């Protein structure tokens, strides 16, 4: 996917100066998809949590593309190199290249549990699903995650209501830890980016689930919600 920050709808928490994150985990539902997959120039919309720092970026992506079979998944990293002996990893580009695992087709329904974690000298970004699918990419990263945590970023946008998912996308159990294993107390800020067919809520709560919710429809045109 991409490293974009500006111009995208997202929920973000800035890591305090002098701190770093070595573990970011969470859960996401897999919402029922919309229709109109084959409209010309439809493109794709990607949903992803991520960790960013100096010479460091890792993400776990759920992509709503033109493929009618289901969502496409991808774990990706930038500013690093594939870790030998840890499964499939492919890199493209030069400086700051993107490295990722194989794409998988993921059908709607169930839960997508994702993680970005440091394991010894290496980092891993991956996911498991309630249907039994799992994948990950192992990396040797140049830098460290000391800039910000993204609970959810919506890359690109929908152009019509019938393209959007038919139920909300929710992210919960979001936990970030420092090298000593202590969890950070995170409050996310939401940027709406003027989207017409989606709205992100950083103060979402449903029973014992708490985190970020993305709802779909029409009539949204906000710029900032904290």
> pLDDT digits over 18-69, tens only?
999 999 999 999 999 988 766 666 778 999 999 999 999 999 999 998 888 8
Contact 195, 8 (CB under 8 A): no
pLDDT at 160 (0 to 100): 84
Question: CB 175: neighbour CB atoms within 10 A?
Answer: 12
Question: Which of 73, 184, 159, 60 minimizes the C-alpha distance to 114?
Answer: 60
pLDDT at 52 (0 to 100): 97
Distance of CA 49 to the CA centre of its chain: 3
Q: For residues 187 and 202, what is the distance between their CA atoms, to the nearest angstrom?
A: 8
Q: For residues 127 and 74, what is the distance between their CA atoms, to the nearest angstrom?
A: 9
| The CATH fold of domain 9-225 | Jelly Rolls (2.60.120)
pTM of the model as a whole: 0.92
Q: What is the mean pLDDT of the chain?
A: 90
């Amino acid at each position: 996917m991409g490293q974009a920050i500006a111009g995208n709808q997202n929920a973000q928490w800035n890591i305090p100066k002098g701190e770093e994150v070595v573990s970011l985990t969470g859960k996401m539902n897999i919402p029922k998809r919309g229709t109109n997959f084959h409209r010309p120039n439809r493109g794709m919309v990607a949903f992803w949590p991520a960790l960013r720092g100096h010479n460091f970026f890792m993400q776990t992506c759920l992509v709503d593309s033109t493929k009618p079979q289901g969502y496409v998944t991808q774990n990706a990293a930038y500013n690093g190199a594939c870790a030998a002996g840890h499964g499939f990893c492919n890199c493209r580009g030069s400086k700051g290249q993107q490295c990722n695992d194989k794409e998988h087709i993921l059908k709607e329904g169930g839960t997508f549990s994702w993680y970005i974690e440091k394991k010894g000298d290496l980092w891993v970004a991956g996911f498991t699903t309630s249907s039994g699918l799992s994948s990950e990419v192992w990396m040797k990263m140049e830098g460290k995650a000391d800039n910000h945590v993204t609970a959810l970023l919506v890359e690109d946008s929908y152009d019509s209501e019938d393209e959007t998912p038919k139920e909300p996308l929710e992210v919960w159990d979001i936990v970030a830890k420092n090298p000593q294993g202590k969890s950070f107390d995170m409050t996310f800020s939401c940027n709406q980016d003027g989207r017409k067919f989606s709205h992100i809520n950083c103060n979402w709560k449903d029973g014992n689930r708490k985190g970020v919710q993305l709802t779909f429809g029409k009539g949204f045109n906000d710029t900032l919600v904290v």
